[in-house]
Chain A
Amino acid sequence: MSENPTRSIEPSYLKYKGRYGGIFAWIFSTDHKRIGLLYLWSIMTFFIVGAILGLLMKMELISPGKNIMGPQTYNGFFTLHGIIMIFLIVIPGLPAVFGNFFLPIMIGAKDVAFPRLNLTSWWLYMFGALVVLTSQFTGGGPPDTGWTFYAPYSFQTPTNMLPAVTGAFILGFSSILTGLNFIVTIHRMRAPGMGWFKMPLFPWSLYATGWIQLIATPIVGVTLLMIIAERTLNIGFFDPSLGGDPILYQHLFWIYSHPAVYIMILPAMGAISEIIPTFARKTIFGYKAIIASTVAIAFVGYFVWGHHMFTSGMSGVALYTFSILTFLVAIPSAIKVFNWVSTMHKASINLQTPFYWAVSFIFVFMIGGFSGLVLGALATNVHLHDTHFVVAHFHFIVFGGTGFAFLGAMHYWFPKVFGRKYDAGWANIGWLTFFIGFITLYGPMFYLGIAGMPRRYYDYVEVFHGGNIISSFGSIILIAGIAIVITNLVKSAISGEKADQNPWGGITLEWKVPSPPPLENFDEIPHVTRGPYDYS
């Protein structure tokens, strides 16, 4: 593998000249680092769209009655917001961006196992995104089912569901191929000496995520195909008038979509497990416990889908079982929180922006996790089902968890990716604004949900006005925070100060290559002899 041991001054991956020039040097590149950045740019673009949709919905909800949009537009907005945020952003999210960029480097490889398949995944992703977005502009108007495409409405609504569902299917395929690629990469391409338990925790989380992508995604794939068949061929699987069962759709959908939550959060936890030891400058507490909990989450996560359906109609035994399993899956998550906190204990912490993101991740993740237990308990669930409490819960987990970890990872690896430093002052201001906006936006939704405000309505009664004003106000702060963070990062990527090879004093392998890394990452494939967080 190491045919060129002595080339020391290689051009960085951002600069080398390949067969193609201009934009083609990127969109036809099979270099895992360029593909990672392709995903980064695509995801950032979609995220801005999704966030603006969210902002507009909050503006609609700032007071009762119609403000800026009617019910049908609102339905279209939350559907598109959900599809973009879930399928285009948080599911590819950390694996597609940082997994692609850093997995090979962190395990001491030159690339992923199947570089061309990797590029195919990105193309499928863009193609799927395009198909999803055409649903907005063609046919019978924007889809209005919500991102879950619940039957029977999803094949009865006159809106343009086919492209949305087909696009989601294609995106699932892209996700499967990424997971497959990472699993094979981790099995086959670890550097000499890197046993399974010398592997850093981010690759470990990608490994578990890869398996979830591989095992869960086909189920939703075939379910979406069935919805397509319902709409085009009237086939009857989920149509009660033809003998089908709409509840069966919910089961099949959540068999995938609950594990998908762990596709979102496990890599986020992996990134946090990288950031914390680096800034605490000590070895991570309970390395093997974190691995075990990662695998346990991936495993138990398959058996909890029923908790999305406590009010849909299931047998009592099924209800208890799903409720108990839901409580069980909280345990490994809690183990990780204890591990992170213990890592910080008595550490001389280097307070930098990525660390702020990491600790605020733990904070919002815990709120999200505890509120998840409230929803996982049968009695409270009946009261809170389909209220704003649920919206608050999953935004704390999905946006708070994955989003904070993503931005933490972005700041942490920024010097490595672009070879430049971000502006630390603005980065901290951005983080603080983001954090305050986040809590102000989603915090009141817990209260609103308990008070009984249902989700997915463009209107509400006067009694919910107060909480909604605070929440909508928070959305403005949050958007300002997002704008500061993105502007700062983009500006710094173009004209920031040059960064060193190892600005944080990290000891995993990515800090042993130049910033930005050369095309082949390593001059010589390293021999690993120490554990990943061995600071002694």
Chain B
Amino acid sequence: MEQTSGNPHIHRDDEASKIGMWLFIFTEMLLFGGLFIVYSIYRYLHPVAFELAADELDVLVGTANTVILLVSSMTIAMSVTAMQKGNKKLTLALLGATLFLALAFLVNKYFEWGSKISYGLYPGSERLHEFGHGDTLFFGLYYFMTGLHALHIIIGVVIISAVMYRVHKEMVHPTKYALLENTGLYWHLVDLIWIFLFPLFYLVT
């Protein structure tokens, strides 16, 4: 770690970094937790509309994205192991694979949203208004929750790129890789949230 502004006592404590990351993950889960509460309340109030609206979503694309994220979680976990074994090249390759999968997820998402929007299903649209309250809320939640999740993916892309740079420059190396581990933890969180979003929006009908 580089020093900033005359503070000579930035000490290194990998355990502390990891605790900090876990606490951060905890807050992220609560952030989405608020949305899951909203989801469950409106699902309870509009069970039929939620069922019908869920049929509109493309299970194939959802499944593809689930597989993509699960595999990317695996690749980033493997990159940590590769780092522990001191294999820089493999670490970079696995991080690159993770990055590629993250981008693939976003591309899928783009087309999925695009087709919904071209079909007239977006917040405030006429068509949604005709469908009624249940559908409006379902798609409101769909765009808001998957959108917030996609934002986390984008942030993840930025972080993973930064970590790749640092691995390349050997600022992250086999005796100091807390940053890589924490990035892995963050990525698993993003994956985990999707694991809940996928059935709630695509599968439960």
Q: Which residues of A contact B (CB under 8 A)?
A: 1, 16-20, 24-25, 28-31, 110-111, 113-117, 119, 176, 180-181, 183-184, 187-189, 214-215, 217-219, 221-223, 225-226, 229, 233-237, 242-245, 248, 252, 255, 519-520
> Are B123 and A234 neighbours in the complex by a CB distance under 8 Å?
yes
CB distance from B174 to the nearest CB of A (A): 23
> Are A222 and B134 neighbours in the complex by a CB distance under 8 Å?
no
Of all chain A residues, which has the CB nearest B141? A237
> Are B136 and A242 neighbours in the complex by a CB distance under 8 Å?
yes
List the 6 closest pairs (A to B, CB-CB), nearest first: A18-B6, A243-B133, A234-B124, A218-B31, A218-B30, A235-B140
> Are B16 and A225 neighbours in the complex by a CB distance under 8 Å?
no
Chain B residues contacting A31 (CB-CB under 8 Å) are 6-7
Of all chain A residues, which has the CB nearest B9? A110
> Are B28 and A243 neighbours in the complex by a CB distance under 8 Å?
no
Chain B residues contacting A221 (CB-CB under 8 Å) are 31
> Are B30 and A115 neighbours in the complex by a CB distance under 8 Å?
no
> Are A183 and B23 neighbours in the complex by a CB distance under 8 Å?
yes
Given A25-B5, A219-B33, A235-B144: A242 touches B26 (CB 8 Å cut-off): no
B198 at interface, CB cutoff 8 A: no
Chain A residues contacting B33 (CB-CB under 8 Å) are 218-219
> Are A30 and B38 neighbours in the complex by a CB distance under 8 Å?
no
Give the docked Cα–Cα distance between A224 and B106 (Å).
25
> Are A188 and B124 neighbours in the complex by a CB distance under 8 Å?
no
Q: Chain B's interface: helix, strand, loop or mixed, by majority?
A: helix
> Are A116 and B133 neighbours in the complex by a CB distance under 8 Å?
no
Chain A residues contacting B132 (CB-CB under 8 Å) are 243
> Are B20 and A184 neighbours in the complex by a CB distance under 8 Å?
yes
5 A-B pairs besides A184-B19, A215-B30, A237-B140 with CB distance below 8 A are: A20-B6, A113-B20, A214-B26, A236-B140, A519-B9
CB distance from A212 to the nearest CB of B (A): 12
Q: Which residues of B contact A (CB under 8 A)?
A: 4-11, 13, 15-17, 19-20, 23-24, 26-28, 30-35, 37-38, 41-42, 46, 123-124, 132-134, 136-137, 140-141, 143-144, 148
> Are A217 and B11 neighbours in the complex by a CB distance under 8 Å?
no
> Are A223 and B34 neighbours in the complex by a CB distance under 8 Å?
yes
> Are A252 and B37 neighbours in the complex by a CB distance under 8 Å?
yes
CB distance from B88 to the nearest CB of A (A): 26
User: What are 17 A-B residue pairs whose CB atoms fall within 8 Å in the complex?
Assistant: A17-B6, A24-B5, A29-B7, A31-B6, A115-B9, A188-B16, A215-B27, A221-B31, A223-B34, A235-B123, A236-B123, A236-B137, A236-B140, A237-B141, A252-B38, A519-B9, A520-B9
Chain B residues contacting A189 (CB-CB under 8 Å) are 16
Give the docked Cα–Cα distance between A217 and B34 (Å).
11
Give the docked Cα–Cα distance between A258 and B52 (Å).
38
> Are A222 and B137 neighbours in the complex by a CB distance under 8 Å?
no
Given A113-B13, A115-B7, A248-B41: A237 touches B34 (CB 8 Å cut-off): no
Given A19-B6, A29-B7, A115-B10: A218 touches B28 (CB 8 Å cut-off): yes
Given A221-B31, A234-B124: A243 touches B148 (CB 8 Å cut-off): no
Chain B residues contacting A236 (CB-CB under 8 Å) are 123, 133, 136-137, 140
> Are B34 and A218 neighbours in the complex by a CB distance under 8 Å?
yes
Chain A residues contacting B26 (CB-CB under 8 Å) are 214-215
Of A188, A222, A229, the residue contacting B15 (CB under 8 A) is A188
